[in-house]
A and B are shown apart, each in its own frame.
Chain A
Amino acid sequence: MAIPIKYNFRNLVVRRTTTLMTALSITLTVTVFVVLMALAQGLQISLSATGQPLNVIIMREGSQSEATSSVTRDSLQVIRYLEGIAKTDKGEPWVSPELIVLINLPRRGQTQGSNVTIRGLGPDGPSLRPEFKMVAGRFFRSGLREVIVSKRISERFQDCGLGDKLKFAKGYWTVVGLFDAGGTAYDSEIWTDSNDLSADFDREAYSSVMVRAIDAGAVTRLSDQISNDRRLHLKPVSEREYYENQTRFAAPIKALGLFIAALMAVGASFAAMNTMYAAVARRTKEIGTLRVVGFSRGSILLSFILESLLIAVLGGLLGCVLALPVNGITTGTTNFATFSEVAFNFRVTPRLLMDGMIFAAFMGLIGGFFPAWRAAHENIVTALRSA
């Protein structure tokens, strides 16, 4: 059996101030790590949660996003009669021509503005997105300059509350309802009728067309028909893939988070190392005694690494507890794929907390190893002679 863990535990209690200070430097690092990763993860999850497997977005060839795409009204007529498109209850092709415009809106409590996506939809647009539901007011009516706003955008931007009037294009638009899109990318949008929107912005063409395929095979057949029709110059992308592609814009946030966390981890590891070197120096004679009693170098090494790990686990747990409250908080950033605001929630998952703990343990391990090595390789005779 090894040196009992209560030996380490009680030593940590004896020097509780140092233990706590060291643990707190690890806490700080873990908190920052978990919060930044929760941010990156929230963005990633909100984007990758978006998309029905049978929905296909049709855009202009070569465009990276709906905002920079255009589909003519003639093309829409061709698209409506492609083979493989599902039918609505009324027997019409399940298709929604859509127009995307960005408007600059001031955030609540700030004068500084941000781009927000306004999406004009066809009558079947909402039914193509089953996660969509109204949470306040009513759906917009065509021809009346009415809009509905996602709850998240409504909370974060001025003039976006129920009953408010929003000024863009040729005049004022009334917010008649608030909606929730189940954490998908549509939770960052304002919706209205596509014809109202194109009239107000003098747009001839749509931005994109969304269609529902009959089944998985039809998705491929639709793609082939569109790609093979040289007149169209259009490109089909499955809705899933379109948003999945945007998740790579979470990568820089993640990288920045990792970079900051790594810098802080260096500091925290040094703090742990300092503490452990001091502990080893103070207990040199004890170490010699343990060796005389029969404990091997290995068990001394293990014991001191364990002690450092205990500090790290304490720090890590505290860090996770401190980071937990950000879970579910809504924040926003510019989606660099669309250059518009994307609102999403911090997501602190069990997996992320585990990563935080592993990160803490890693700092403890690094900080503990060298002092423990010194403890284990101290000459017994010298150790016994020390004060």
Chain B
Amino acid sequence: MAETVVQIQGLSKIFQRDSFSVAALEDIDLTLESGEFLCLMGPSGSGKTTLLNIIAGIDRPTKGQLRVLGEDVAQMSEDRLATWRNVHVGFVFQTFNLIPVLTAYENVELPLLLTKLSSGARQEHVLAALKLVGLEDRIHHYPRQLSGGQEQRVAIARAIVTDPTLLMADEPTGDLDAHSAEEVLDILTRLNRDFKKTIIMVTHDPRAARHATVTRQLEKGQLLPLGA
């Protein structure tokens, strides 16, 4: 009874740069069922980030079919897309991307400011998310007062605080030491196993792939056949 979360057919993305164009993605077919943990691997420049951005409604495909959570994301207006991302997608970046002038608590609260939740309800959600990533004792710390691993865990809390269906992580352990990386991967695994989040994670790290339910390889913009 698993429902399809991502459905991609013949999707291409061509970046136009001055006189020449770069085909970042070529004729991609991909289906992802609810509850899957997809690990996307491949060399630098193979189009992983681009594919992630397109699925997350951050970028638009040049051609092809794209349905995410049953919606034609590519056709949505900017403003609808912003709201859609807020509700359905959590995004974790390699460089954490926390707002430096906001505390851990305030960073995690940001996506909730776009909801109709009262400040009391927001507080409940923020504390629950920070507890889940094991940072309930760091809520009033600013990003510069946290270690890289802690920053990334705050970023994960921010990504899940609205309880989105889809969680995207673009090389989430790329800037972390081995120990912190393991912590982050454990959290993502738990989110997939215990909270049934559908996760797409980009990584170079073969060890990271162990946590995934499916692993796919991208090369020069093309998705290699399953098991390749």
Contact = CB atoms under 8 A, between A and B. Distances in A.
Contact count band on B:
20 to 34
Contacts of B78: 296-297
A11 interface: yes
Contacts of A296: 78-79, 82-83
Contact of A295 (B53, B58, B114): B114
Interface stretch (B61-69, B91-99, B128-136, B220-228): B91-99
A7 B93 contact: no
B22 interface: no
B212 interface: no
Contacts, number: 65
A378 to B, nearest CB: 12
A14 B87 CA distance: 32
A4 interface: yes
Interface SS of chain A: helix, strand, loop or mixed?
Answer: helix
B158 A293 contact: yes
Q: Which of B59, B87, B100, B114 has the most CB of A within 10 A?
A: B114
Contacts of A11: 101
B111 interface: yes
A294 B59 contact: no
Nearest to B97: A289
Contacts of A293: 85-86, 91, 110-111, 114, 158
B113 interface: yes
Contacts of A6: 102, 106
Contacts of A381: 53, 58-59
A5 to B, nearest CB: 12
B62 to A, nearest CB: 13
A290 B91 contact: no
Nearest to A1: B113
A2 B97 CA distance: 19
B114 A292 contact: no
B56 interface: yes
B59 A380 contact: yes
A123 B206 CA distance: 110
Contact count band on A:
20 to 34
A289 B59 contact: no
A384 B171 CA distance: 14
A165 interface: no
Nearest to A286: B99
Nearest to A14: B101
A288 B170 CA distance: 15
A343 B79 CA distance: 61
A294 B86 contact: yes
A2 B110 CA distance: 10
B163 to A, nearest CB: 14
A285 interface: yes
A288 B82 CA distance: 12
A184 to B, nearest CB: 56
A1 B97 contact: no
A4 B99 contact: no
19 contacts: A1-B113, A6-B102, A7-B99, A7-B101, A7-B102, A14-B100, A286-B99, A292-B56, A292-B85, A293-B114, A294-B85, A294-B86, A295-B82, A296-B78, A296-B79, A296-B82, A296-B83, A297-B79, A298-B79
